[in-house]
Amino acid sequence: MANKIFKSILAVALIVLVATVVFTVDELYQSFYRSQIDVLEAETGVIAYGIDKEGLSFLDDLDETDYRITIINPQGTVIYDNSGNDIAAMDNHLDRQEVSDALESDFGFSNRESSTLFERFIYTAMRLKSGDIVRLSSTYPSIYQVIKNLIEPLSIVILGIFMISFPFAYHLTKRIVEPLNQIDVDDPDDVNCYKEIKPVLKKLTDQRKLINKDREILLQKKQEFETITQNMNEGMVLMNTEGVVIDINKAAADLLNIDQDMLGGYISDCTYFDRFSDLIEDAQNRHRSEKRVRIKDKNYDLEISPVLVEDMISGYVILIFDESYKEANENMRKEFASNVSHELKTPLQTISGYAELLKDGLVKKEDRQSFYDKIYSEAQRMIGLVVDVIKVSHLDDEESSIRKENVDLGQLVDQVVEQIAMEADKGISVEAHTCEAYVYGNIELLESIIYNLCENAIAYNKENGRVDVTVSSDDKHVYLEVSDTGIGIDEAYHERIFERFYRIDKARSKQVGGTGLGLSIVKHSCILNNATIDLKSKPGEGSTFTVTFNKA
Ligand code: ADP
């Protein structure tokens, strides 16, 4: 822009200069020309007067003159000429404009080009009293001659002025452009600039605000979309009509072995493409199609739909649903049902066997009490198992409907420990070390976490052992720690003990009245209360279970 302004100023200066020179030269030339005619006319009058008075001898007495003087008779014949040319050889002059005008109206004038471009002739003619015509002519430089003469000095003047204009134009340009350069593109309105461009700057500011707002909305929408798609368990791939991947979420990228940062690659380059390439062909024919494919030893339902914009296919979306967890759930349900029936079958068989022997009178009188005790304890185990199974199935169902509130975990631990300490046998002491610490959770589930952990800590403890239940907190979290001096757990089982019906030592579990469901209830209850559970334990060194809650 500065360059353009600079050039424009120079161009204007040059045009003005040239126009001024042309106009001035033309004016001067015209005025020179007019004065030439006036002088010639006056001279002609003087000479005509002299001839009228003294005859042709007046011309002889004339000093040397710059004018060519010709006398022509009314028939057009030249009777006198001071040019030195042979007058007899001269043409008839009646056809000359000035001569014919003078014959008609006593005075004539004409202007003719010379044989060269650089000179012109002017003629003035007057009729003498004798009827003859006296004509004076003189030459004057043509405009071309004038220009030719002026070219050199004028060029020097123009060059000089041009050179003076150069810094002037440079500074002027700088001054014009400076306020524009001061415009802050981030805040165009905040500048003292030309008032003529203020409305433009205001419009710019308004548009900028509008664009920023739209950009923020778009970004927010993009982030929302990304948050949703990136956290989806289902895989999602967006590709254009050429099969170039334009968006892919983490689940799909992991599954199809596509690097998420390498967008822009072809879907056909991904591993397993051959397993669903036929679906893409269907989608190209505008059909939504799906099929079950096996990837990395799991079953997935893969669905491809064309994306239609104004009835034209603009791309395709691939959705990948992990079906294996449904199968796993189904398997888990079946396994759970068979475990439950198996666990119930054993005590039932024992009860039924003992009852049958008693019924048939096959038990000696002195042995009967131990049979009754056995039947009672097996029945109690069955009740315990049924209670736990009901709890587990409630936990499965209640996921979305549990009622939560702010609960003082310290107080709750005190209550549970007070009750459980009374039931503890083998000389085991149970102690609570608590403080006020609120968590947002379901009180029944929290109670079952504390209860089950304490129950295990007692059940798998040594004689005269200790159980310490501690509640503590920091800025963000509340911690429940149940540690015992019991048999400890080998690291190989740290994960597995949270599975349903998993017991390290079945016989011991049975002996302590365990069902194998306690820790799975704890784990599930932790999840439903947004808590995590950790275990630190080594065989023979006791165990510490730590549950971490978010502070309410
Ligand atoms: P159970 O009803 O058998 O106690 P749980 O699910 O509560 O079932 O526990 C699973 C298994 O984990 C138990 O059978 C036991 O082997 C082990 N276990 C649980 N808590 C402890 C503990 N505090 N010390 C040692 N082993 C434990």
pLDDT tens, residue order, the chain (552 aa): 778 888 888 888 888 888 888 898 889 888 988 998 999 999 999 999 999 998 888 888 776 778 899 999 999 999 999 888 898 898 999 999 999 999 999 999 999 887 666 788 999 999 999 999 999 999 888 878 888 888 888 888 888 888 888 888 888 888 888 877 777 767 766 666 777 777 888 888 888 889 999 999 999 998 888 888 888 888 999 999 988 988 888 888 888 887 766 678 888 888 888 888 888 888 888 888 898 888 888 888 999 999 988 888 889 999 998 877 777 778 878 888 888 888 888 889 999 999 999 999 999 999 999 999 999 988 988 898 898 888 888 887 766 578 899 999 999 999 999 999 988 888 999 999 999 999 999 999 999 999 999 999 999 999 999 999 999 999 999 999 999 999 999 999 999 999 988 999 888 887 887 889 999 999 999 999 999 999 999 999 999 999 999 998
For residue 93, report the distance from its CA to the centre of ligand 1, in Å.
147
Q: What is the rounded end-to-end Cα distance, in angstroms, of the chain?
A: 63
Non-local CB neighbours of 522 within 8 Å, separated by 6+ positions: 448, 449, 452, 453, 498, 533, 545
∠ at Cα 535 (534, 539), nearest 5°?
Answer: 170
- Tell me the HSE value of 52 on the side-chain side, using a 13 A CA sphere: 13
Backbone φ/ψ region at 411: left (φ over 0), alpha (ψ -120 to 50), beta? alpha
Q: What is the dihedral of CA 258, 259, 261, 263, to 10 degrees?
A: -20
∠ Cα 357 358 359 (to 5°)? 90
Query: Measured in whole angstroms, how far is the alpha carbon of residue 95 from the centre of its chain?
Result: 89
Ligand 1: atom nearest CA of 505 is 16
- The SS3 of residue 297 is coil
Ligand 1 center–CA 76 separation, angstroms = 151
CA dist., res. 259 & res. 261, Å (int): 5
Per the structure block, which two tokens stand in for 293?
């494919």
Closest approach atom of ligand 1 to CA 517: 6
Nearest CA, atom 16, ligand 1: 504
Predicted TM-score (pTM) of this structure: 0.50
Q: What is the 3-state secondary structure (H, E, C) of 70-96?
A: EEECCCCCEEEECCCCCHHHCCCCCCC
Query: How remote is the CA of residue 417 from the centroid of ligand 1, in Å?
Result: 19
Residue owning the nearest CA to atom 4 of ligand 1: 514
- The closest-lying atom of ligand 1 relative to the alpha carbon of residue 493 is 12
Q: For ligand 1, say whether the CB of 483 is within 6 Å of any of its atoms.
A: no
Residue 504 beta carbon below 6 angstroms from any ligand 1 atom: yes
Parallel, antiparallel or unpaired: strands 405-408 and 429-433: unpaired
Q: How far is the CA of 504 from the centre of ligand 1 (A)?
A: 7
- CA–CA dist 9, 194 (Å, integer): 19
Domains of the chain: 2-146 (3.30.450.20), 234-397 (3.30.450.20), 402-552 (3.30.565.10)
What's at 362, amino acid-wise? L
- In 3D space, the residue among 152, 171, 164, 158 whose CA is nearest the CA of residue 16 turns out to be 158
